[in-house]
Amino acid sequence: MARLADLSLTVADVDLGEIEAEADRKLADYFVTTDYVVEATTGSASLFLGRKGSGKSAVFTQLPRLMAALAGPEAETILLTPDQYSWAALKRYAEQGLLAEQAHTNAWQYTLAIEIAARIARASRDWVAPADQAVDELRKFLHSNYGPTPSFGESASSLLKGLKELNLSAFGFGVGVSRRDEADTPITPAVTRALFERIAPALAQVRIVVAADRLDDSWDGSLDSHSLLIGLLKAGRDLNNAYWAPFPQPGLRVVTFLRSDIYDSLRFDDKDKHRATERVLVWTPEELATMLTRRLPGGVSADELFEPGEMRGSIAPFNYIVKRTFLRPREVLQFVGLCLQVAGKGATEIKKDDIRRAEERYSTWKVDDLRQEYSKVVPHIARLLECLRQGFHRYDAIEDLSALIAVKEPALVEELGPRRILEILFEASVIGIRPRNSGSPRFRSEDSNLSLPSSGAVYVHQGLYRGLNIREARA
C-alpha cells in the first residue's frame, strides 16, 4: 500500500463519488459485494432492511448488472421506485367487502403482474411451447390496454378505473370478468390470476427478479401507508412462494428494500412468516474500510489516507471516524469528505486535527439527520434528543437517564412511559449499553439483535457528542 505523497498526489486528487447511490455513475467501479449482495442475487433472501444510508439503494441500482453477471444476459431484472402518482393510486384502491390490507395486496399483485408481463412480452428470445402462446396472449392484452410500453403509473392508476375499461378478449373472457353494474368496478383477483396463468409458462424458461426501493419517499406514516406497505410484503411473499426456484433455475423472485425503522413500525398478523427471508444490512468496520479504499487512488488504503499515529483513546484515525457513525457507508463518506475539505486541496494526508475540526460539523449533521430520519415514525424524536443536550456521555443506571427525561419532558413520559422512551432511543442507536458490564459500549447499529436490559449503565453515541454538547462523566 502507499500514501498520497508516495504517488505525488494530494487531497485534491481524491474523489469519493456521490453520496447517493442513484446519482453515482461510478458506483459499479468500487461496489463492495457483501454477503447481503450475494443473498439478493441468488434469491436466498427477499426483504432487505436497513437505516438510511446503509447501502440498500446501492444494491438495488446494481442488481441488473449483478444478475447479468451471475445468471447470464438473459436474466431479467425489473426495478420499481413508485412515485407519488402511482403510490397515491395504489393507496386509494379498495374492494368491497375486503379489509384494506387484502385490497392493497391484490393491488400490488396486479401491478406486479403487469410489470412482469411487460418485461416478458419485450424479451428478445424464442419461447418454447406452451410459453409461446401464453406470451402472445400477454402481448395482445398489454397492447390493447396499455400500448407497447406500459408504465408502472399506468398500471397502478388503472386499478381505479375498474374492469369496464379493460379489454380482456386476449384471455378469452369476452366483455369482462365478474362484471358488476357499478361504475367503479375494481380489478378483481380473477384478472391477476389470468395474467399469472400466462406468465407461469414463461417463468419456467427465464429467471426474473423484481426489486422495489425508495418506498419511503411517499410514505407518510398514515394507516393507509402502513396498509399499502404490508400489502406489498404480502404480495411479494405470495408470489415468491408460488414461483421461486433455487438459483440457477428459472423462476421469479420479488425483492423489497425497506427502511428498518419503517418496517419495525408495521403490525400485521403473519409478520413472523417473513423472518426467514429478512436480512438487516449491518456493515463491519472492515467492510467500511474496503468501501473507502476502493474509492481512493490506486494503492492508497483507508488507513493510509490519514496522518500516522493514534487519536485520543489509542484508536487509529479511521476507526475513530467509524466509531462516530452508525456503521453506514453514507456517514463514513460524509465524515471523510468533511475531513478532506478541512485538510485543504494541497494536503497530502488528513491530520488528526483535521478530523477533530470536521467532527464539529459532522456531529451537528447527525443530530439533524436523526430528527429527519425518524420524524414520521417517531414524531417525538427531536424532543427526546434535546433531553440529552448538555448531559453526560454515560449514565450509570438506566433509572438516572429516565429521571432526567422525566424532568425535561414529563408529558412525553406520561404519554409513552419511561421504558418506551428508552427503547426509542436505543432502537435508533442514540444510546447503547455495555453487555455484562465489560468491553466497549455497543449499539443496535452494530448488532440488530441487541436488546435493552432492565438495568445497567447506558451510553450516548459518540457521533452525537459535539452536536448535543455532551459532557464526559468522570468518576
Number of domains comprising the chain: 3
**Where residue 224 falls among pLDDT bands split at 50, 70, 90?**
very high
**Of 199, 209, 326, which Cα lies nearest the Cα of 257?**
209
Specify if 25 maps to a domain.
no
Distance CA 212, CA 92 (A): 19
407: which residues sit within 8 A by CB, 6+ positions away? none
Among 254, 280, 306, residue at a domain's last position: 280
Specify if 456 maps to a domain.
yes
**Where residue 180 falls among pLDDT bands split at 50, 70, 90?**
very low
Does 307 lie in the same domain as 228? no
% of the chain beyond a pLDDT of 90: 74
Does 88 lie in the same domain as 219? yes
Mean pLDDT of 203-219: 93
Does 248 lie in the same domain as 174? yes
More confident residue, 88 or 416: 416
CA–chain centroid gap for 254, Å, is 15
| Nearest-10 Cα torsion for 324, 264, 247, 76 | -90
Mean pLDDT of 28-37: 93
Does 165 lie in the same domain as 55? yes
Helix (H, G, I), strand (E, B) or coil at 42: helix
Among 339, 366, 393, residue at a domain's last position: 366
Considering only CA atoms, give the Rg of the chain: 26
Q: Is residue 419 within 8 Å of 378, Cβ to Cβ?
A: no
Query: For the chain, first and last CA: distance in Å?
Result: 42
Specify if 27 maps to a domain.
no
Specify if 30 maps to a domain.
no
Mean pLDDT of 447-464: 93
Specify if 122 maps to a domain.
yes
Q: Domain range spanning residue 422?
A: 374-475
Does 150 lie in the same domain as 70? yes
Does 462 lie in the same domain as 338? no
Does 249 lie in the same domain as 202? yes
Task: Give me the phi and psi of 359, to 5 degrees please.
Answer: -65, -30
For position 173, what pLDDT does the model report?
66
Does 182 lie in the same domain as 69? yes
Does 45 lie in the same domain as 125? yes
**Of 275, 261, 254, which Cα lies nearest the Cα of 46?**
254
Q: Is residue 234 within 8 Å of 98, Cβ to Cβ?
A: no
Distance CA 112, CA 232 (A): 10
Specify if 23 maps to a domain.
no
pTM of the model: 0.92
Residue 229 scores a pLDDT above 50: yes
Total Cβ atoms within 10 A of residue 374: 23
Does 175 lie in the same domain as 117? yes
Does 253 lie in the same domain as 154? yes
Does 427 lie in the same domain as 358? no
Q: Residue 20 gets which letter from DSSP?
A: S
**Residue 47: strand pairing partners:** 256, 278
Specify if 353 maps to a domain.
yes
120: which residues sit within 8 A by CB, 6+ positions away? 76, 135, 138, 199, 202, 206, 208
Specify if 28 maps to a domain.
no
Among 247, 280, 313, residue at a domain's last position: 280
